[in-house]
Each structure stands twice: as structure tokens, then as C-alpha cells.
Structure 1
Amino acid sequence: MALRGTKTDTCKEKRMCIRNFQNISTIDQLMGRDSSPLDMMHSSIMNSSTPSPPVGVAYYCDIHRDAHKFYCQTCNKLLCDDCDTHHHRGHTTVHLMEAIESAGIQANQVLKDAKLGITALKEDLDAVQTVAETLENKARQATTDVMVYMRRLVSAIEARENELLARIEKARLMKYAALEARSDYLKKSLCRLSITIDRLVEAMDSFAVDSNSLDILLFKDMASAEVITIFLLFPT
């Protein structure tokens, strides 16, 4: 419900409007408006050379040509009776003088709230920057830790690889040496058995010609002993 008041057309009320106009302007600036609804009225009052109220748009409605009596807090506009009735129904409207008188208090409160808001925003910004710096430091430290760990892991893997390769090479050499020794023994044993067989065959041939020959007895025992010796000492 709009608040009603008396018509502001006396010199005393006009001077009060002039004194309190700056308060309205302060509110407009804090609320981000480029110009106040009272700017034209202020200009008309300040430029007037006579104390009589001007007959311009500052005091009178452009639509209804009636004096402005109210201020719409919903639209931030000056109103006349007809504007209040037909164009701003349901809006929050107050008497123009009441709006001007309370503008100073409201401006101070808005300014106080704005300063508190700035302080809070700065604190939040500082907190965000602190968290961002902490996050950056932790990420940098984590990256360093991962790189160090990977280097250590690679170094350990390379050391283990070298150890296993060395063990494989050592086992290969040992096995190869054993195979070489076995091969040499087999070659020598083969040669000895071949010689033993040749002598035994000669002894058997001699025995076939001369049954009293003692060569067959000697070479038979020698061949038997040689075979037993070779296979007993055969490396496994």
C-alpha cells in the first residue's frame, strides 16, 4: 500500500529537498545507476534564480503534468498521484519528502554494508589465493615425489636386471665349462677305447692262428679294465 503525504510546493520543503538531494544521489551511485530520478529536479532547482518552484519536468510528471509526490522504491522513479494509481499499482511507494529524509540514513547503511561486503570479499579472495598456493605447492611436491620415486624404481630395476644378467652369464659359463670338460673326456675315452679295441682284435686274430698265444689273455683283461674305468669315471 502506497504511503500518502502533502504536496511539496512550499519554499521550505523545496530547500529541504535541495539539502537532502545529495543523499539520494549517494544511494543511486551505490546501487550502480548512472543517473538518479531526481537529477533533473536538482538541476532545475540549482539553476533557478528565483525562489519560486520551477514549472519544468523536475517537479511535474511528463505524462499527467501533475506534481511529483511519491517515490517508487520498486522502479526507482518519481511519481504523481495518477502514476501511483495507474502505473505502479502493487509497488512499494513512499512520500517524496520521507524518501529524501531517510536517504541519508539509508545511504550510510548501504555504504556500511558495501564496505563490509568489500572486506568479506577480500577475505574470501585471500582465502582462495591461499588455498590455490597450497594446492600448487602440494601438486609441485607430489610431482617431485613421483619423479624421485620413479628414478629410484628405475635404478632398482636396472640394478636387479644387471644382477640377474650376471647370474645368467655365470651359470652359462659354468655349464659351458662342464660341457667342455665332458666333451674332452668323451673324446679321450673314445680314443682309448678305440685303441683298446684294436689291440683286442689283434690279440684275437693272433689267438686264432696260435691258440697258445698269451696276448689274448692280457689284452682281454686290459680291455675289460679300460671299459670299466672309462664308464666308472664317466661324468654325469
Structure 2
Amino acid sequence: MASRAVTELENTKDCSQAGKALFCPSHPTEELRLFCEQCDQPVCQNCVIDRHRQHLYDFTGNVIRRHGDSLREVLKNTQEHMDTLKDVLSQIDDKGSAIHSRAEAVATEISLFASGYVKAIEEHRDRLLKQLEDLKVQKENLLHLQKARLQQLLLDMKTGVEFTERLLTSGSDLEILITKGAVASRLAKLNSIAYNTRPSVDDGIQFCPKKRAGQCGGYEVFGVVLNKAVDPSRCTLHGEGLHSACQNQLASFTLLCNDFMGERMVRGGEAVQVTIIHKDKRDCAVKPTVCDNNDGTYHISYSPEEAGLYACCVFVKGQHVQGSPFTLTVKTKFREHQGVFHCCTFCSSGGQKAARCACGGTMPGGYQGCGHGYGHKGHPGCPHWSCCGQLKKSSECLGGPPSDLSQKSLLRTVTL
């Protein structure tokens, strides 16, 4: 009934009858003068007698103030929500405009960035191609120069050989004896001329697209042209674990890659392969670990489980490096040091004259042990083991002290 009343009110609000009496829909001849509190709706006198008999009701004039105030409060809240919604809608419109403007500005930035980036890449490309062309011309010039020199040398040798052959086949004994010295000297001089047995330059030109190439036009670019190529015959091996190791202990050595001129490579990425196989037990092999240091060096580590002699091969690009294959000796047990690692016997013994050291050094003034840079032969001021003179703290003991050392002096040095 409330919705119907609202509809009727909406339909009559602009008419002249809007302020006149309203009649009950159920009793058309009765005017709506009462208000049922329980049903919250206007009723007529007949409704109160009939359907609303037990309901609490009152005249509309008596309840209009209370219900009007309640409606005005709801109206006020609704108007506040409307104002909030209008403000949000306004903010949405403003934010939409801001997003549109910002998107256009960012699109401009992206276009400028992309244009600059493309320009920087093109400049970097041109620079790389120029560098490559200069490198190609440089290598070709060196080859041409070497070729010209070798061709001249070959021509001189050919002339000398032909002359010598004619002399030996057609010359008289006297002519041979007269010209022998000059001819032999000429040939010897030609033979003594030093020349490379291979081309003076290589074709080791490479492009590394992932390598950083610095800045170009304010942008970081990638890709460099490398001139060097590794030469396995020039690569070298270094380290304590190269020829000896101990059973069940980690050992290592280092591979240094060089180019055909013997100059150090400054990048990694080479195909390095290492095999370590027992010489007496062919089925016994050690699996080494190869670590690329990305600077032209490779760290090879291994841990042999059995003692004996091993054949160690190191390959770069499928070729043996310098010194490969080599023999690796694996000892059964690591010999521990029995002495102390000290700088000198003078310090470790507290200044005792009779204290000695296995390094054999002595000190002026009647001191039987080594001192700070005095008679410290082979160990000038360096820390070393008192039992064998080894300079490295993590080294294996090489043996006991010299035989002329008394047991008393040795014990004193060791315990201190």
C-alpha cells in the first residue's frame, strides 16, 4: 500500500488536487485520517474497525511530526550520500582526464626513448662494423707483409738452391772449391733468418652479443668484437695439485688460456675438458670439476679416492694444452706437521739460544735458531714450519729436522 501511495503521489504532485484529501483504496468513500503504527501506513475509520482492529493507531495530525522528522533525517543522509557520490563522480572524471593526459605523456616518453635507443643501437652497430673493418684490414695488412717477406725469402732461397745445384752438377772442381765458401755462407744466412712457421695473425674474430659494451648516446648497449682466439699449445697449467695430491683430499690447479702470440685471454667460454685416469686401474677415474672464471682462467679441482699414478689430460677445443698429458701422483696419507708455524725460533722460544729450527737458519750472538732476517737462509723473515721449514701453513710436512739437532732443542721449539 505504501508503494501505491508513493506512485499516486508521484502522479499527482504537479496537479492542483495534490493538497486535497486522500481516500482509502479499500473504502473509497472514507478519507485517510488515521495512521496505523503497527502497519506503518495511513488508514480510514472503517479499516480500524475491520483489518486493523487490534493495532495501535492515531490521527495523522498527531504522528506527522514524529514520522516527518524521521523521514527528514533519512532525507538528509540520502542528500549527503548524493553529494558524496557527485564528488566521487567528479573525481572519476578528473582521474580519467589525468590518466588520458598521463598516458599521452608516457607514450611520448616511450617514443622518444625508443627513438633514442634505436639511434644508439644503430650508432653502436656502425661502431662495431667500423671496428670489425679496421681489424680485418689490420690482419690482412699483417698477412700481406708476412707474405711479401716470406715470398722474398723463398725467392732468395730458390735462387741460392738453383745456383748451388748448377754449381754442383756443372761446375768444375776448382769452381766448386773457389765459390764454396760464399755459397755456403749465403745459404747459411738464408737458413738462419727467423720467421714464423704459421701465419702471423689468426682468424679469431668473434662477436659476443651478451657482453656489456658500455654507454652509447646515454644508453647501455651490448655486444663486443673480440680479436683473440685461444691456442691450446700456448695454454699453461699452474698449481700445487698439478702433479701431486693426497687420497680423499681436495686438490686443484689452474688452466691459463693464451692466444697464438702467448698473450693472456681475458674472457671465458672455451671448451675445456679434463680427464684423470688411474694408470694401473683403467676403470678407476676421477671426475674433476672445471670452473670457468670468465677471465681466461679455469679452476680445476678433484678429489682422488685411490692412491697411485694417474694420467691427467687437459684439452682445450679438443687439443692437448702445453704439458698435457702429465703424470699425477696421489699419496696414501697427508703428512701432518709436527712443529709450529712461526716467524723465527728466537720469538717462539722466548729468546733461548739453544732453540733450533728445521730451516737450518742461525743467528749471530750464539743463537742456534733462526731470527728476523739474520742467518735465515732461504727463509728471510718469512713464517715457516719449525719441523721442516715449509713456508705454506697448509702444506704437507717434508720430514723431520736436520739430524744434528738434539731432541731437547727440537722439543723446545715444537712445544713453544
Specify the TM-score bucket, using the shorter chain as the normaliser: 0.5 to 0.7
2:186 pairs with 1:222: yes
2:133 pairs with 1:169: yes
Distance 1:226 1:74 in 2: 132
TM-score, length of structure 1 as denominator length: 0.59
Between Structure 1 and Structure 2, which shows a larger proportion of helix residues? 1
Match of 1:22 in 2: none
Q: Are the equivalent residues in 2 in contact too, given 1:60–1:67 (CA < 8 A)?
A: yes
Deviations 1:86-134 (A, max 9, x none): 8xx7xx9653333556677677666666654543333222222222222
| Structure 1: 5+ residue stretches without partners | 1-27, 47-52
Distance 2:119 2:25 in 1: 88
Match of 1:36 in 2: 9
How far residue 210 of structure 1 moved from its aligned partner, in angstroms, is 1.9
Classify 1:205/1:36 alpha carbon distance in 2 versus 1 (closer, same or farther; 3 Å).
Answer: same
How far residue 202 of structure 1 moved from its aligned partner, in angstroms, is 1.9
2:113 partner letter: Y
Alignment of 1:30-179 (within 5 A): 33-36=6-9, 59-60=23-24, 62=26, 68-71=32-35, 77-79=41-43, 80-81=47-48, 82-85=50-53, 95-99=59-63, 115-179=79-143
Distance 1:155 1:168 in 2: 20
2:162 pairs with 1:198: yes
Match of 2:194 in 1: 232
Match of 1:210 in 2: 173
Let me know the Cα RMSD of the aligned residues: 4.2
Greater RCO (Cα-Cα under 8 Å, separation 6 or more)? 1
Q: Are the equivalent residues in 1 in contact too, given 2:35–2:59 (CA < 8 A)?
A: yes
1:83 partner letter: R
Between Structure 1 and Structure 2, which shows a larger proportion of strand residues? 2
How far residue 196 of structure 1 moved from its aligned partner, in angstroms, is 0.3
Distance 1:116 1:160 in 2: 63
Describe the SS at the equivalent of 2:42.
strand
Describe the SS at the equivalent of 1:78.
strand
Larger radius of gyration: 1
Deviations 1:176-208 (A, max 9, x none): 11111222222222121111001111222356x
TM-score, length of structure 2 as denominator length: 0.36
Q: Are the equivalent residues in 2 in contact too, given 1:206–1:215 (CA < 8 A)?
A: no
Distance 2:76 2:97 in 1: 31
How far residue 75 of structure 1 moved from its aligned partner, in angstroms, is 7.0
